[in-house]
């Protein structure tokens, strides 16, 4: 993708240190964008991050600076410590500090084995909300530059939803946050909203700008949701 002052094209992309959120309420695919960002396959064009072509740096360097918080949180069989810090890069104080950031420290410190608590396959001994918060802890620890929120709050309760967004705003203030969401309230605090349809850009503007365009797709989509009380 390529962003200029007026347009966004699917040839190159420049991601800046602001929150850009992609609304997909009408079912647009997102796999290609995420896959290209992580360089999961070769693609034409380029993605430029801080004036650096993502293809010009190693995969390890690129992916070490990007975190994804998926709709379905992923935990694996092993200790809590290994789930948070697979390569033993952080000490206990850093792990507990990150857990405190997402309000899990008190709950987990009460466990007999603490950070050495065994996580069952699929994280069965944790709630959906707790598993999602643990995924968020990984991103907090890694000090990433780009965070992809892929429907991250779609399956959690309202308290966890609010906690995730508060943590994102606080801990990733200087990062690019790309949020893919179906709920309007999730994207309305973004710097800009990108609307795609059939692989084409329909609109790209600030929430206020989109909300004032009475002939635009976003404006009419908001009105439709208000009509049905969504």
CB 63 within 8 A of CB 49: no
The yes-or-no verdict on residue 227 having pLDDT over 80 is no
d(CA 162, CA 102): 11
Q: With 70 as the cut, is the pLDDT of residue 19 above it?
A: no
> What integer pLDDT is reported at residue 142 of this predicted model?
92
Please tell me the predicted confidence (pLDDT) of residue 168.
92
Per-residue pLDDT of 73-99, as tens digits, reads 999 999 999 999 999 999 999 999 999
106-121: average pLDDT: 94
Tens digits of per-residue pLDDT, 185-224?
888 888 999 888 777 788 999 999 999 999 999 999 888 8
Nearest to 105 by CA among 133, 75, 135: 133
Domains of the chain, each with CATH number or no CATH? 2-227 (3.40.50.300)
Contacts 24+ apart (CB under 8 A), 38-46: 38/62, 38/63, 38/66, 38/68, 39/63, 44/11, 45/1, 45/2, 45/10, 45/11, 45/12, 46/11, 46/12, 46/13
Q: How far apart are CA 205 and CA 182, in angstroms?
A: 18
For residue 214, give the 3-state DSSP assignment: coil
pLDDT in tens, 21-78: 555 443 345 777 888 899 998 888 888 888 899 999 999 999 999 999 998 999 999 9
Calculate mean pLDDT across residues 122-144.
Answer: 93
Residues 6+ apart with CB under 8 A from 205: 192, 193, 213
Asked whether 196 and 202 are in contact (CB, 8 A), the reply is yes
Maximum Cα–Cα distance across the chain: 59
């Amino acid at each position: 993708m390529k962003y200029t002052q007026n347009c966004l094209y699917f040839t190159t992309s420049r991601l800046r240190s602001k929150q850009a959120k992609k609304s997909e309420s009408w079912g647009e695919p997102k796999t290609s964008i995420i896959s290209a960002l992580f360089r999961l396959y070769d693609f034409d064009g380029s993605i430029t991050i801080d004036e650096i072509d993502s293809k010009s740096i190693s995969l390890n360097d690129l992916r070490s600076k990007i975190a994804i918080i998926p709709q379905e949180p992923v935990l694996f069989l092993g200790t809590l410590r290994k789930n948070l810090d697979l390569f033993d890069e952080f000490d206990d104080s850093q792990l507990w500090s990150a857990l405190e950031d997402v309000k899990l420290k008190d709950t987990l410190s009460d466990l007999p084995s603490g950070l050495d608590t065994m996580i069952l396959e699929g994280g069965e001994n944790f709630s959906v909300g707790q598993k999602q918060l643990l995924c968020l802890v990984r991103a907090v620890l890694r000090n990433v530059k780009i965070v992809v929120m892929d429907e991250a709050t779609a399956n959690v309760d309202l308290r966890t939803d609010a906690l995730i967004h508060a943590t994102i705003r606080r801990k990733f203030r200087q990062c690019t946050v790309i949020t893919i969401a179906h709920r309007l309230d999730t994207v309305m605090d973004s710097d800009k909203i990108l609307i795609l349809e059939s692989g084409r850009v329909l609109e790209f503007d600030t929430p206020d700008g989109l909300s004032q365009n009475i002939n635009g797709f976003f404006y009419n989509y908001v009105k439709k949701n208000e009509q049905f009380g969504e």
